[in-house]
Structures are given as structure tokens and as C-alpha cells.
Amino acid sequence: MIGIFVCTYQRPSIRDCLLSLIASVRQAGNPDVELHVVDNDANGSGQSLVNAVSAEMDFPVHYQVESRPGIASARNRCLDIARERVEWLLFVDDDETVKPDWLAGYLSAMEEKSAAAYVGLVETLYPDYVEAAIQGSGLHDRQQRPHLSLVKNGACNNCAFSMAFLQQHHLSFDGRYNQMMGEDSDLFEQIHQLGGSIVWNAQSVVSEILVPERATRAWVFQRYERVGQTYALRKKRYLSKSGVFKELIQSLLNAGIAWSLAWICRFLPAKHVRFYAYFLRNRAKVRAFLSS
């Protein structure tokens, strides 16, 4: 049994997400699949949207509310549901739509190469309102990798987990990330540290429209600072003291290089935005490495 899970919070775009999942399941030949929506809004604001779409589904769809706030809490509710129920847990975000061959791509990858987890590409779509410097910076773009290549990290915006591996090692999402981002990166870090293989699945692609609130320099800069902070927190948790020291020195060097490049490119908006974001990310790493 495969479980497809979508965590949501007050986002009407989940309708488009669910409709794309329906089409992908049908194209895959309606395999043994069930769909779960976990709403992190205690008021259950997403239920009417899910109910409206579920009428069009010819496979099970389940809706539950996770009243504890935070994405880690919502994802852990998904793990609780999946335990002893599904063999594979697939995650997509509620602001994404999957390609028609998305599910078939995961089924194929699982047959071709065994792994503890699989991750796929998220394509960012840029509406006309997005500033040219933001789009040109590439900060919202993800890199496509060779199909079935091994990677060391991943994110839950397009991934699949082996429930057997998660249960064997008693893995879950760390609640300390509820007030920030990085709960998924932390779980992938644990999988990698435990020797679990993480495989890139180039056949399963999802799309994400860049919404206005994320199409600003302020949002990008804040995001990259958080990425740096959570990266350092993970490394402090899983690396030796010497390993952390090496990461600190590298982050200091990277911050200096990024600051210099941002200054040099101050009259080239796209490059300036990119290098300044890199500077903020590395500065946040340094601060987090030095904090107690």
C-alpha cells in the first residue's frame, strides 16, 4: 500500500494539488493507493475543499486535523497514520501540482533501485508579477540530478519514505523545528547518518507557482538566513567537534566570498540578490555554530 500525504494550512490551492494527484494516480493505473490530508488548522478550514474534491476520486481519501501547531507536528501525524498501514509514504506540499506521470515515476524508481527514501524535482513557475532580479537570481530554482543517483539530503515537498526504515530506526520529525523550517532536512540527515540510501528520482516532477508573498527580496533573504541557521543546528547535532569546527571555518570563508561578490555585483540586481542571500545564509551558519 502506498500512502500519499499532503499537509495543509489555510491554503485554497490544495484543490489543484489534489486534482493533479487524482490524475497521476489514474495514469499509473490506479495502484493500491490511499490519499491523506492532514490539516494543521485546528478549525478544520480545509475540510470543505477536500470533501468537494473527494467526490471525484475513485480511491480512498482521508481527512484529519492536527491541532498542535507546526509543520513537524503535522508531518508526525502523517507518520502516525502511515505506521502499520502503508509500505511507502509519499509527501507533496499543498501549494504544488504533480505531473501526470509523477506516481508512475516513483513506482518505477522503487523497482529500479532500492532505497530508504527518494526525492524528486520541484519546478518553480514564475508569474509576470515576479521581479526580474528575483527570477534571475535562481534562488527559487532547484537542480535536476541524474536519475537514480545517490544524494545526501532531501525535502518533503516531493519525496517518498520507506516506512520500514523509519520504523526500524524509530525516526520522526523533530518538534524543535515547529517554529522554523528544516524539519524535513533534519530527518533526511538522520537517514543519511544511519546509512540509509537516498535516491534521486528524476521521473517524478512537481510544479510550484511562486506566490506574491514569496516573490520579494525580503522573503528570500529571511529564508536563506533560516536555511543557514537550521543547517548549522543539524551539523552541531550530528558532527564531531572537529567536524563542526571545519564547518565553521568554511562558513566564515564562504560568507566573506559571498559578501565580496555581492558588493562587486551591486549594479547587477540578479547577481547581487543571489550573492547577498548566500552571504546571509553563511553568516547565519556562523552565528548558529558559535551560539551555545
pTM for this predicted structure: 0.93
Specify whether the CB–CB gap between 152 and 185 falls below 8 A: no
Q: How confident is the model at residue 253 (pLDDT cuts 50, 70, 90)?
A: very high
Q: What is the pLDDT of residues 272-286, one digit of tens each?
A: 999 999 999 999 999
| Contact residues for 233 (Cβ-Cβ < 8 A; gap 6+) | 182, 288
pLDDT at 60: 78
Mean of the per-residue pLDDT values for the chain? 95
Q: What is the pLDDT of residues 207-244, one digit of tens each?
A: 999 999 999 999 999 999 999 999 999 999 999 999 99
User: Rounded distance, CA 234 to CA 90, Å?
Assistant: 23
Q: What is the pLDDT of residues 149-200, one digit of tens each?
A: 999 999 999 999 999 999 999 999 999 898 888 999 999 999 999 999 999 9
260 has pLDDT over 80: yes
Phi, psi of 5 (to 5 degrees): -120, 135
5 has pLDDT over 90: yes
Q: Sheet holding 88-93: strands in order across?
A: 61-65, 33-39, 2-8, 88-93, 158-162, 117-119, 198-200, 150-151
- HSE of 272 in the Cβ direction (CA atoms, 13 Å)? 10
- HSE of 22 in the Cβ direction (CA atoms, 13 Å)? 16
292 has pLDDT over 80: no
User: Rounded distance, CA 286 to CA 229, Å?
Assistant: 8
145 has pLDDT over 90: yes
Helix, strand, coil fractions of the chain, as percent rounded to 5: 50, 15, 35
Q: What is the percentage of the chain residues whose pLDDT exceeds 90?
A: 91
Q: What is the pLDDT of residues 77-105, one digit of tens each?
A: 999 999 989 999 999 999 999 999 999 99
Residue whose entry in the numeric block shows the C-alpha cell 507536528? 73
